[in-house]
Homo-oligomer: A and B are copies of this chain.
Amino acid sequence: MASKPPTRKPLRKRKRGDEAGPPRAARLEEVARMAGVSPITVSRALRNPDIVAEETRGRIAQAVKKIGYVRNFNAGALASRKTTTIGIIVPTIMDVGFAEVVHGFYDTMGEHNYQLLLGVSDYSEEVEERLVRDFLAHRAAGLILTGVSHGPEVRRMLTSMAVPTVEFWGLSRTPIDLCVGYSNADAAYAMTRHLVRLGYKKIAFVSPLIGTVMRDNDRTRDRREGHRKALRDSGQGIDESLFASGRLDFQSGANALVELMGKRPDIEAIFFGNDVMAAGALMECQKRGWAVPDKVAIAGFGDSELATVVQPALTTVRTPRHAMGKRAAELLLERIGGNTKVPKVVDMGFDVIQRDST
């Protein structure tokens, strides 16, 4: 006893396939034994088939199939300090706009065999921070965040751990790492200028509010400011009675229309910060027999599928949602690959789409 202080290996050498407990998943070693090679060769055959002799590879593939072996990314990640996991955080997935970005992103990342951790922040910076922490705990190879304003702790964690990150949907002068989007201010500015050019005066703006606690966000704010600036630059008077806001849904769009026309019957056009609200307003006009755009012109933002289907078809701003997701993926891949010369901020632009509602 006295001289047996170090390893007492024989005691607890439970290695494998003991009696009790649930059956453990097959390991690389078992595949290796069956194929008559070493584990590292199996590992190579699975990750980088080209460097293993074809004949060996065949035996390994057979063994894998027979045993029903499934890789263990956790062990792999630990050993290699690398993962193929990407984290993406959006405020909600009930908005097709975000879904579209995720879609564009997912397609490209999927092709490159990355997996997606999805986080929904519900427009809360607090939740976002928790999600970022979780994703870092997974040692995600990269992160995608919505918008350009984030809590200070988020920024600190991301830079200190040097995780490739893409912020999307807005343009930032000080991105955490990379940034893909368009200028919401410019887009709203362009639409309002367009309306002015069409001859409308008294152009109102409606801000969509979101989240469980209704509030706006950097994108919505930028749009409202863009509108304001366009009014100023057009020499139109600005007046708080030209502004309204409401929940981001059809009904609130209708309500905002009624509210605005009630207190300012001289309004000639209403620019909604979101297509859904604009569509709601359009339907309300129809219900009330108000001619669009003769009595009042309606413009939206987003160019959702709705815009082309409502009557009259909706003038709106087309945002590059799918393209943003795709581009974000491409940049992230470059970044993960070690390319440090990728552009920091990518402006994807937007288009003002003139249809029949203005």
Q: Is the CB of B311 within 8 A of A287?
A: yes
- In the complex, A25→B249 CA distance in Å? 44
Report whether A93 and B83 are in contact in the complex, using a CB–CB cutoff of 8 Å: no
Q: How far is the CA of A106 from the CA of B311 in the complex (A)?
A: 36
**Given known A74-B83, A93-B102, A99-B94, contact A160–B68 (CB-CB < 8 A):** yes
Judge whether A94 and B100 touch: CB under 8 Å.
yes
Do B311 and A283 touch across chains, with their CB atoms under 8 A apart? Answer: yes
| A109-117, A174-182, A217-225: which lies at the interface | A109-117
Nearest opposing residue in chain B for A279, CB measure = B309
Q: Are B115 and A117 in contact (CB under 8 A)?
A: yes
Q: Is A190 an interface residue (CB 8 A)?
A: no
Within 8 A of B (CB), among A203-261: 249-251
A73 interfacial contact with B, CB 8 Å: yes
Question: Hey, which chain B residues are within 8 Å of A72, CB to CB?
Answer: 78, 137, 139
What is the chain B residue whose CB lies nearest that of A132?
B70
Contact with B along A73-91 (1 / 0, CB 8 A): 1110110010101000000
Q: Is the CB of A115 within 8 A of B93?
A: no
Residue interface mask A111-142, B partner, CB < 8 A = 1? 00001111110000000000001111111000
Q: Choose among B116, B137, B308 the residue that contacts A118 (Cβ–Cβ < 8 A).
A: B116
Which residues of chain B come closer than 8 Å to A96, judged between CB atoms? 94, 96, 99
Chain B nearest Cβ from A212, distance in angstroms = 11
Cα-based distance from A305 to B252 in the complex (angstroms): 13
Q: Are A75 and B78 in contact (CB under 8 A)?
A: yes
Verify A309–B280 contact, CB threshold 8 A. Answer: yes
A74 to B116, CA, bound (A): 16
Q: Nearest Cβ distance between residue A88 and chain B, in whole angstroms?
A: 8
Bound form: Cα–Cα A89–B83 in Å? 20
Q: Across the two chains, which residue of chain B brings its CB closest to A139? A: B74
Measured CA separation A287–B115 after assembly (Å)? 45
A304 CB to nearest chain B CB (Å): 11
With known contacts A103-B93, A156-B68, A157-B70, A250–B120 Cβ distance under 8 A: no
Counting chain B CB atoms within 10 Å of each CB, the highest count among A25, A70, A103, A110 belongs to: A70
**A37 adjacent to chain B (CB < 8 Å):** no
Q: Mark A47-77, 1 if CB is under 8 A from B, else 0.
A: 0000000000000000000001011111101
One of B73, B78, B102 near A137 (C-beta < 8 A): B73
- Confirm or deny: A22 has a beta carbon within 8 angstroms of a beta carbon on chain B: yes
Supply 30 A–B pairs (Cβ within 8 Å), ascending by A: A22-B162, A23-B162, A25-B139, A68-B156, A70-B133, A70-B157, A72-B78, A72-B139, A73-B138, A73-B139, A74-B77, A74-B78, A75-B78, A78-B78, A93-B93, A93-B99, A93-B102, A93-B103, A94-B100, A94-B103, A96-B96, A106-B120, A115-B117, A115-B119, A116-B118, A117-B117, A250-B305, A251-B309, A283-B309, A286-B311
Q: What are the nearest 10 A-B pairs in CB distance?
A: A74-B77, A118-B118, A71-B137, A250-B309, A73-B137, A74-B74, A93-B99, A70-B136, A116-B118, A74-B78
